[in-house]
Amino acid sequence: MMMTPTVQVAKGLEGVVAEATVLSDVQGQVGRLLYRGYDINDLANNSTFEETVYLLWYGSLPTRTELKDFTSRLAAARALPQSVLDEMSGWPRQAEPMEVLRTTVSLLGLYNPDRDDKSDTARRESALQLTAQMATITAAWNSIRQGRTPVTPRSDLHHAADFLYMLNGKEPDPEAAQIMDVALILHADHSLNASTFVARSVASTLSDMYSAITAALGALKGPLHGGANEEVMRTLIKLDNVSAVEPFVNSELDAHRKISGFGHRVYKADDPRALHLRRIARDTAEHTGNRKWFDMQEKMREAVTQRKNLPVNVDFYSASVYYALDIPIDLFTPVFAISRIAGWTAHVLEQYGDNRIVRPDALYTGEHDRAYIPIENR
Ligand code: COA
């Protein structure tokens, strides 16, 4: 006789409060996001990526001297070991940039002799190196796969500007660097999203920071998580016209398929990061005179809202913003990682600081007490 389960499975861990954190507060009902108590809009309007990373790691906004010192330490840590670049140049050119990022982070662990040093100083140094190097790996791979020599990072540029510089081999104009910087601020942390939970779970076994971040990158890559921004842009390109948007939305929803860039586990109102990126997308469209993608996105948002009232999420407008910055589509998710490394490492440090191994239960729903059948009788 089948027993009726007395416990409910929290599918996808919905509603489960698995950790306490002081890092970010996602207020899903009202569409607000705070890092260390500061509204994301204030940070996007006034801060820089470097300052935001400092805030996440140390809990307060830096003084001018602290920020100067932190910015130069981060800039000094950007270069990759030559042997890592040599290794990368032998990889298949068609490898996905997210796979390359995941593999390179794992590889970089081998080059850090202090990776298993459990002191706070050594762990913070690993966090600094990883945060500095994520952009370098992404840009280097883009060069390598095109048969070009990777551009050496420039320590006189801010993180966002240096990423665009390494990507294109020329210094970005200030507006592009500013847009990139804001995008990095907006993606830096988001409480216990799937990849952060994965990073914390790995850290909870007292494994090293590189292993935790490698696992997080594997989680971010999926189309339900960070991979959604690439899907959004591919869909827009495929549709190519405002008039194709509504029929697409209707056919997808009729077929019960998900439309990338919409829906969220926590936000019931529009994602505040998406609204910020929407402003940038609109301003860019007006500035460049190319309204096509923005107009299609507005139409898509209207059509989805009419049919299902789903909130728009961060991956929706970041897609057209990155596209306008001439970033290749398959680098959109790596760009997410270039920012989210700040939050992942902050969470890993927080986990190490007050650790208990993550070990949830599962409800067993299989059979019991089966009699073993010798192989000759099966
Ligand atoms: N398009 C169409 N319907 C969607 C949807 C989307 N993007 N996102 C959610 N829904 C619908 C589901 O079909 C479901 O409808 P139903 O109750 O009629 O069956 C309902 O909304 C709840 O969705 P569910 O998949 O249970 O939500 P979740 O919390 O498990 O998943 C996401 C959250 C983000 C994974 C999900 O919204 C999604 O897949 N979005 C698209 C991918 C994306 O943009 N990811 C980036 C997130 S930042």
Instruction: Return the ligand 1 atom nearest residue 261 CA.
Output: 44
pLDDT band at 329; cut points 50, 70, 90? very high
**Strand, coil or helix: 162:** helix
Number of neighbouring beta carbons within 10 Å of residue 188: 28
Can you give the pLDDT at residue 270?
86
Q: What is the CA radius of gyration of the chain?
A: 22
Q: Is the pLDDT of residue 3 over 60?
A: no
Phi, then psi, of 338 in degrees rounded to 5: -60, -30
134 falls in which pLDDT band (50, 70, 90)?
A: very high
**Tens digit of pLDDT for each residue in 93-110?**
999 999 999 999 999 999
Q: Whose CA is nearest to atom 39 of ligand 1?
A: 224
In the residue annotation, 276 being an active-site residue is answered as no
How many Å lie between the centroid of ligand 1 and the Cα of residue 255?
Answer: 14
Q: In the chain, where do the E strands start and end?
A: 24-27, 32-35, 38-39
Strand 38-39, strand 24-27: pairing: unpaired
With pLDDT > 70 as the criterion, what percentage of the chain qualifies? 99
Is there a catalytic annotation at residue 315? yes
Residue 73's pLDDT is what?
98
SS3 content of the chain, % helix, strand, coil (to 5): 60, 5, 35
Residue with the two structure tokens 């059948």: 373
> Which residue has the CA at smallest separation from atom 19 of ligand 1?
256
Residue 234, burial from CB neighbour count under 10 angstroms (0-12, 13-18, 19+):
middle
On the question of pLDDT at 215 being above 60, the answer is yes
Banded model confidence at residue 5, pLDDT cuts 50, 70, 90: low
Task: List, for residues 262-305, the tens digit of each pLDDT value.
Answer: 999 999 998 999 999 999 999 999 988 899 999 999 999 999 99
Catalytic residue among 158, 187, 190, 264: 264
Spacing, Cα 300 to ligand 1 middle (Å): 16
Q: Is 7's pLDDT higher than 90?
A: no
Ligand 1 atom 34: residue of nearest CA: 264
Average pLDDT over residues 59-86: 98
Give the predicted TM-score (pTM) of the model.
Answer: 0.95
pLDDT, position 6? 76
Q: Is the pLDDT of residue 12 over 70?
A: yes
Is residue 116 within 8 Å of residue 210, measured between CB atoms?
no
Token pair of 36, please? 């260390």
